[in-house]
Amino acid sequence: MVIQQDYTRDVNTHTCMGLYSRYAAGYGESEMAYPAEYVIRIFKGNYPRHNFDNSAFSDSSILDVGCGDGRHLVFFDTDLGFEAYGIEPTEELAEIARENVESAGSNATVRAGENRDLPFEDDKFDFLLAFNSSYYMGENHDYDFQTHVEEYHRVLKPGGSVVLSIPKSTSFIYEGSETAEPGYQIVKKDPFGKRDGTVLRQFDDVDGIEDAFAPQFGDFTTASVHDDCFGFNYHWWLAIGTNSQ
């Protein structure tokens, strides 16, 4: 059994300070990308176990947690009619996304904020998207994923929907990773050169995701993405839950 001080030493050796600046450099050097395929599918598709009433989007608000370069905000605002908001963890990253959405003709709002501290009032949003973002534990390695869950619950209206994408343990992002604490992994071999040293909350299965979000969220609908994309294992869980009252 590995003792706690071994976890702490490992994290200090593989600090992720500089993660946000590395992302800012990457976003600043490239054009804004298209929306992720599964975000489009989730919000516009019609499936046996899931379909949103997209006729109500124009009267709804959505928060994109970790909005990146703003690609989903433009889609939400100009295509689906949402009142769209996004956050990135630093003002530098938020400004990059802000400039991108403005250039694309979107009225979406972008602020600086993190999973653990969302810069919005209670009960503000009808939808919250955390697409490949909820499990990032920040540059300070806060091992309290439940703070993320509680913040999502706080800013969502009762009955609002949380939409999640979370990698499986077989995803390429965890190849060669090391344990920080039980349930948390340190990225060691990021092929994109940005996330080495980053601590991520890892789940063994989709039941673990649902358990982590209970009791604040329930009525989950889930899907499994298991894609070998030309050498990258894009193995992800998709989960859509309802905010409790």
pLDDT tens for each residue of 4-30: 333 333 334 344 447 666 666 655 566
Our count of domains for the chain comes to 1
Q: What is the mean pLDDT of residues 147-171?
A: 98
Residue 214, domain member (yes or no): yes
Residue 5, domain member (yes or no): no
Which residue segment(s) compose the domain that 129 sits in? 18-43+55-170+201-243
Number of helical H runs and strand E runs in the chain: 7, 10
Q: For residues 178 and 199, give the distance between their C-alpha atoms in angstroms, rounded to a whole number.
A: 9
Residue 179, domain member (yes or no): no
pLDDT of residue 5: 31
Task: Quick: pLDDT tens for 160-178.
Answer: 999 999 999 999 999 999 9
pLDDT of residue 16: 43
Residue 12, domain member (yes or no): no
Residue 30, domain member (yes or no): yes
pLDDT at 70 over 60: yes
Task: Quick: pLDDT tens for 121-133.
Answer: 999 999 999 999 9
Task: Quick: pLDDT tens for 191-227.
Answer: 988 899 999 999 999 999 999 999 999 999 999 999 9
Residue 233, domain member (yes or no): yes
pLDDT of residue 12: 40
Of 120, 131, 19, nearest to 73 by C-alpha is 131
| CA dihedral over 103, 78, 112, 65, signed as positive or negative | negative
CATH of the domain at 76: 3.40.50.150
Share of the chain above pLDDT 70, in %: 88
Of 67, 83, 202, 198, nearest to 129 by C-alpha is 67
pLDDT at 3 over 80: no
Residue 224, domain member (yes or no): yes
Task: Quick: pLDDT tens for 29-43.
Answer: 667 889 999 999 999
pLDDT at 139 over 90: no
Residue 222, domain member (yes or no): yes
Output the pTM of the full model: 0.89
Q: What is the mean pLDDT of the chain?
A: 90
pLDDT of residue 231: 92
